[in-house]
Amino acid sequence: MGGVARHRLATAVAQAGGFGVLGMVREPVDRLREEVKALRTAGIESFGVNLIPAATEPTLLEQQVEACLELAVPWMVLFWDVDTSLVRRLKAAGLGVIHQVGGHDDALAAVEAGADILIAQGLEAGGHVRGEMTTFSLLTELVPWSPVPVVASGGIAEGRGLAAALALGAQGVSVGSAFLATREAHAHDHHKRRVVTARGDDTVHTRLFNRNWHESAPVRVLKNRVTRGEYDDLKARGISDIIGEQDGQPIYLFSTDSPLADATGELDDMALYAGQACGAIHQVDGAAERINQLVNEARQAIVQLQSP
């Protein structure tokens, strides 16, 4: 949720009873500081800051980490390769660490490093996808083994998915696409509209969006001209033209940048992240409405299962 989950979304989620996370992956340090300050000004003290160490230039990463330590951020949410030294450094400073993983090896490394909570990300998830198992299959494997709480992520956008994850032993769910399609999300309206009109089979698991990522990693996005192969000749020749701008920076074809609120240019050619559960998202709501819907649907599903 880098760029999309800024303080407006994290605040709304937290005020509605969820756990707000600031998506600060590769963001300038000044913006990280401003976002944390805005969250605290709104009265939110329990929250997380999401970084992806492997995908961040080392100098910037160090500046981000130092800022989080200085600001006494209570929780860090990490993803991709497990940076054992970083996890231990954060723990030694008194921060809680949540680590998103895509399989058993990463889960083992995260636990051994000292992570307090695991997010089990399944293949259905939108954005960068680490693992190759479905969410519920991964839960079935990790929950009985893990010495720390496990949270489910991927393919969950309504209450029945939440109830199913709880039934498999998850302690909660980490939701992306359903929060992207909210009024408070910093995503562009075009991205939000595409999500609410999409079905699960409108998403694609692809490695085409890798221009500014440290490796050719898979992402799940909505189909567009890039995924349909209309730019394959440019890809083969290593040509990546500027197709837009946001936050005062250019956006290149095949980059991992999704269109944010101020984006201009060829918006539909950008990485339009969405998970396979997007077919359950039918309109742009407030984050609080989304949480209430998830919780109420989950309660109804559990009651129905308990009925004779």
Cross-sheet strand order for the sheet of 150-153: 20-23, 47-51, 75-78, 96-101, 117-121, 150-153, 172-174
User: Is the CB of residue 178 less than 8 Å from the CB of residue 157?
Assistant: yes
As a whole-number percent, the residues of the chain with pLDDT over 90 amount to 97
Instruction: Give the tens place of pLDDT for each residue, 228-281.
Output: 999 999 999 999 999 999 999 999 999 999 999 999 999 999 999 999 999 999
Name the DSSP class of 74: S
Quote the CA–CA distance of 169 and 219 in Å, as a whole number: 27
Quote the CA–CA distance of 61 and 85 in Å, as a whole number: 13
Instruction: Give the tens place of pLDDT for each residue, 165-186.
Output: 999 999 999 999 999 999 999 9
For the cut 90, the answer to whether the pLDDT of residue 35 exceeds it is yes
Distance of CA 165 to the CA centre of its chain: 18
What own/partner pairs with CB < 8 Å and gap ≥ 24 does 168-172 have? Answer: 168/136, 168/139, 168/140, 168/143, 169/139, 169/143, 169/144, 170/120, 170/139, 170/143, 171/117, 172/19
Quickly state the pLDDT bin for 110 (edges 50, 70, 90). very high
Q: Where are the domains of the chain?
A: 7-184+283-306, 190-277
Quickly state the pLDDT bin for 307 (edges 50, 70, 90). confident
Q: How much is the mean pLDDT over the chain?
A: 97
Tell me the average pLDDT across 216-222: 96
pLDDT at site 308? 75
Q: Does domain 7-184+283-306 fall into CATH 3.20.20.70?
A: yes
For the cut 90, the answer to whether the pLDDT of residue 291 exceeds it is yes
Quote the CA–CA distance of 225 and 5 in Å, as a whole number: 26
For the cut 90, the answer to whether the pLDDT of residue 306 exceeds it is no
pLDDT at site 131? 87
Quickly state the pLDDT bin for 117 (edges 50, 70, 90). very high
Whole-angstrom CA distances from 258 to 101, 116, 170, 180, 189 are 22, 30, 29, 11, 12
With the C-alpha atoms ordered 213, 217, 223, 228, is the resulting torsion angle positive or negative?
Answer: positive
Structure token digits, residue 283? 């309109």
For the cut 90, the answer to whether the pLDDT of residue 39 exceeds it is yes
Quote the CA–CA distance of 97 and 91 in Å, as a whole number: 7
Quickly state the pLDDT bin for 222 (edges 50, 70, 90). very high
For the cut 90, the answer to whether the pLDDT of residue 34 exceeds it is yes
